[in-house]
Chain A
Amino acid sequence: MVSLFERITELTFNGPDMNLFINGTERVINGVWEEETLLSVLREYFGLIGTRFGCGKGLCGSCTVHVDGEPVRSCITSVNNIAGTSVLTIEGLQQDSEKLHPLQQAWIDERVPQCGYCHSGQIMQAWGLLSKTSNPTEEQINAFMDSVLCRCGTYDRIKKAILRAAVMLQQSSDTHV
Chain B
Amino acid sequence: MSDITRRSFLKATAWIAGGITIAFSARYAMEKSVAVGPTLEFPNTESGKGWLQIQSDGKVHMLCPRMEMGQNANTGLAQIVAEELNIRVEDITLHYPTTSETAPIGFTAGSLSMMLFSKPVAIAAASMRENLRCRAAKIYKIPVDEVLDTEGGFVIIGSPRLGYQDLVTDESIELDCEDSVIPNLYTFDPRRIKKQVGQEAEPRGIKDLVTGAAVFSGDIQLPGMLYGRVIKPPVRKARLKNLNLLSAKNIIGFFDIVRDGDFVGVVCRTPGSLDKAVRSVIVEWELPEPINQEKINQLIDINVALQDGDLPRTVQDENHSPSANWDVDLEFAVQLQTHAMQEPRAAVAHIEKINDIERINIWTGTQDPWAVKRHCASDIGFSEDQVEVHPMRMGGGFGGREHYEVEQDAARLALATGLPIKVQWTREDEFRVGRNRSPSSHRMRLASDHKGVLSNWWHAYASGYVFYSRSRLPDWLLPIKRSTAGGDFGVSRGAHPAYKSSSIRVEYKEVDLPIDLGVWRSLNGAPNTFVIESTMDELARQKSIDPVKFKLMNLPDSMARLGNCLKRVEKMASGKLLPTKSGYGRGFACGVYEKNSFVAVSVDLHIDHEARKICIDRMCCAQDVGMAINPDQLRAQIESNLVWSIGMALMEKVEIGDGQIASNNFHNYIIPRMSDIPELNIDVIDNPTIHPAGAGEVALIAGSPAIANAIRDATGLRLTRLPIKYTDITVPGAL
Could you tell me which A residues sit within 8 Å of B by CB distance?
1-4, 6-7, 11, 13, 32-33, 35-37, 40, 43-44, 47-57, 59-60, 62, 89-91, 93-94, 100, 103-104, 107-108, 111-120, 123, 141-143, 145-159
Contacts and interface: CB of A to CB of B under 8 A. Distances in A.
B210 A150 contact: no
A60 B341 CA distance: 11
25 contacts: A1-B222, A32-B252, A36-B272, A48-B212, A50-B212, A55-B427, A57-B427, A57-B665, A57-B666, A60-B342, A100-B210, A100-B211, A108-B210, A111-B200, A112-B210, A116-B395, A117-B395, A117-B396, A142-B674, A148-B674, A152-B342, A152-B640, A153-B641, A154-B639, A158-B674
A4 B675 contact: no
B395 A2 contact: no
B70 A113 contact: yes
B680 interface: yes
Given A115-B70, A155-B672, A150 B342 contact: yes
Contact of A55 (B71, B200, B252, B666): B666
B344 A53 contact: yes
A107 B270 contact: no
Contacts of A111: 200, 202-203, 206, 632, 636
A149 B221 contact: no
A40 B219 contact: no
- Residue of B71, B200, B205, B343 with most partner-chain A CB within 10 A: B343
A89 B342 CA distance: 19
Interface string B384-401: 000000000111111000
Given A117-B216, A159-B674, A57 B667 contact: yes
B320 interface: no
A148 B672 CA distance: 10
Chain B: interface residue count, which band? 35 or more
3 closest residue pairs by CB, A with B: A50-B212, A153-B643, A117-B395
Contact of A2 (B223, B270, B641, B644): B223
B272 to A, nearest CB: 4
Contacts of B667: 57, 59
Interface in B624-645: 632, 636, 639-644
Contact of B69 (A43, A57, A115, A159): A115
B640 A49 contact: no
A35 B203 contact: no
Given A59-B665, A91-B211, A94-B211, 10 more contacts: A2-B222, A7-B223, A13-B252, A52-B343, A53-B424, A57-B427, A114-B72, A116-B70, A150-B342, A153-B677
Given A108-B210, A158-B674, A1 B221 contact: yes
B215 A54 contact: no
B225 to A, nearest CB: 8
A156 B395 CA distance: 19
B273 interface: yes
B282 interface: no
B418 interface: no
B32 interface: no
Interface string B670-693: 011111010010000000000000
Contacts of A90: 211-212
A154 B212 contact: no
Given A32-B273, A44-B221, A149 B666 contact: yes
A6 B644 contact: no
Contacts of A108: 202, 206-207, 210
Contact of A115 (B211, B212, B215, B341): B341
A72 B427 CA distance: 19
A76 B16 CA distance: 32
Interface in B198-240: 200, 202-203, 205-207, 209-216, 218-225, 227
A54 B667 CA distance: 13
Interface class of chain B by DSSP = loop
Contacts of A146: 673-675
Given A7-B224, A54-B427, A55-B666, A113 B210 contact: yes
B213 A50 contact: yes
B426 interface: yes
Nearest to B398: A151
A40 B212 contact: no
A40 B268 CA distance: 13
B419 to A, nearest CB: 11
A153 B342 contact: no
B269 interface: yes
B349 to A, nearest CB: 15
Contacts of B452: none
A155 B636 contact: no
Nearest to A94: B211
A113 B636 CA distance: 9
Contacts of B203: 111, 113
B270 A33 contact: yes
The listed residue with most A CB atoms (<10 A of its CB), out of B210, B394, B642, B666, is B210
B340 interface: yes
A35 B272 contact: yes
B271 interface: yes
Nearest to B675: A142
Given A59-B665, A155-B674, A6 B342 contact: no
B58 interface: no
A114 B643 CA distance: 13
Contacts of B675: 142-143, 146
A88 to B, nearest CB: 12
A117 B343 contact: yes
B414 to A, nearest CB: 16
A47 B215 CA distance: 11
Contact of A152 (B70, B207, B221): B70
B212 to A, nearest CB: 2
A119 B674 CA distance: 13
Interface string B14-28: 000000000000000
B210 A156 contact: no
Which of B397, B426, B673, B680: most chain A CB closer than 10 A?
Answer: B673
A53 to B, nearest CB: 7
Nearest to B679: A156
Nearest to B340: A151
A169 to B, nearest CB: 16
A53 B644 CA distance: 22
Given A59-B666, A108-B206, A117-B396, A44 B342 contact: no
Contacts of A112: 210
Tell which of A47, A100, A116 has the most Cβ of chain B within 10 Å: A116
A172 B207 CA distance: 21
Contacts of B341: 115, 117, 151
B583 interface: no
Nearest to A151: B342
A41 B393 CA distance: 23
Given A149-B671, A151-B340, A49 B666 contact: no
B343 A1 contact: no
B110 interface: no
Contacts of B272: 35-37, 40
Given A108-B210, A111-B202, A1 B220 contact: yes
Nearest to A159: B674
B253 interface: yes
A1 to B, nearest CB: 5
Interface string B232-261: 000000000000000000001100000000
Nearest to A91: B212
A123 B552 CA distance: 44
A60 B219 CA distance: 19
B343 A54 contact: yes
B211 A151 contact: no
A142 to B, nearest CB: 4
Contacts of A32: 252-253, 269-270, 273
Contacts of B269: 11, 32
A53 B341 CA distance: 12
A94 to B, nearest CB: 7
Contacts of A62: 342
